[in-house]
Chains A and B, each alone.
Chain A
Amino acid sequence: DTGVSQDPRHKITKRGQNVTFRCDPISEHNRLYWYRQTLGQGPEFLTYFQNEAQLEKSRLLSDRFSAERPKGSFSTLEIQRTEQGDSAMYLCASSLADVGGRHGYTFGSGTRLTVV
């Protein structure tokens, strides 16, 4: 386990369909984050988990978006009734706060969603 894995790498879907993405964090990391990045912009925070608990949700996370981390390991992000504005790169990251305070905040390669 050398990094954060995301699946799929690319997803093309028709408007109105539901999509689900998966993220496998670095195994010893206790926090898992979801971000969205559009072209030419910085990543925008969506939500994060500490173990299986969802601790924070951005106002960007509309009711069509839901994220889970049922066993405190991998996480899924589901988008229902997709819209063209949902087209973006969805990035997952994980981190660990050790006794030295290092965060090791590491991003995955992302899932690129295109809604047509």
Chain B
Amino acid sequence: GENVEQHPSTLSVQEGDSAVIKCTYSDSASNYFPWYKQELGKRPQLIIDIRSNVGEKKDQRIAVTLNKTAKHFSLHITETQPEDSAVYFCAASRDSGGGADGLTFGKGTHLIIQP
């Protein structure tokens, strides 16, 4: 089955700086890669996703890059703000055409934005 590794487990950055979280996956058939933000006691919320037919996707301050050959993908947050503090999870799955299969999640990165 799929295995997703995520690094680092904790990331502390100064407000206004950029943050980068990296993930690797093992199943070459995986083709859907979402990122979720989870605040304490709340549900995971989808912040951005990418499919394997593109290498990069941006949404305002957030971007995701994908290297299918190396089987790794990264989340980039620029101009970080205090409200970006949360746990971020990467995930991977196959999309069989009718929608995503079950997601395999990484262990999460606790992002701390220092004022």
Which residues of A does B touch, CB under 8 Å?
30-31, 33, 35, 40-48, 50, 55-56, 58, 91, 95-97, 101, 103, 105-110
Contacts and interface: CB of A to CB of B under 8 A. Distances in A.
Interface residues on B, range: 20 to 34
Contact of A101 (B34, B45, B46, B51): B51
6 contacts: A42-B89, A46-B102, A103-B34, A103-B99, A106-B46, A109-B42
Contact of A42 (B97, B98, B108): B108
A111 B36 CA distance: 19
B6 to A, nearest CB: 8
A31 B105 contact: no
Nearest first, the 6 A-B pairs at minimum CB distance are A42-B105, A45-B102, A97-B99, A107-B43, A31-B99, A42-B89
Interface in B1-49: 6, 32, 34, 36, 42-46, 49
A45 B104 contact: yes
B43 A30 contact: no
A40, A48, A105, A109: residue with the most chain B Cβ atoms closer than 10 Å: A105
A109 B44 CA distance: 8
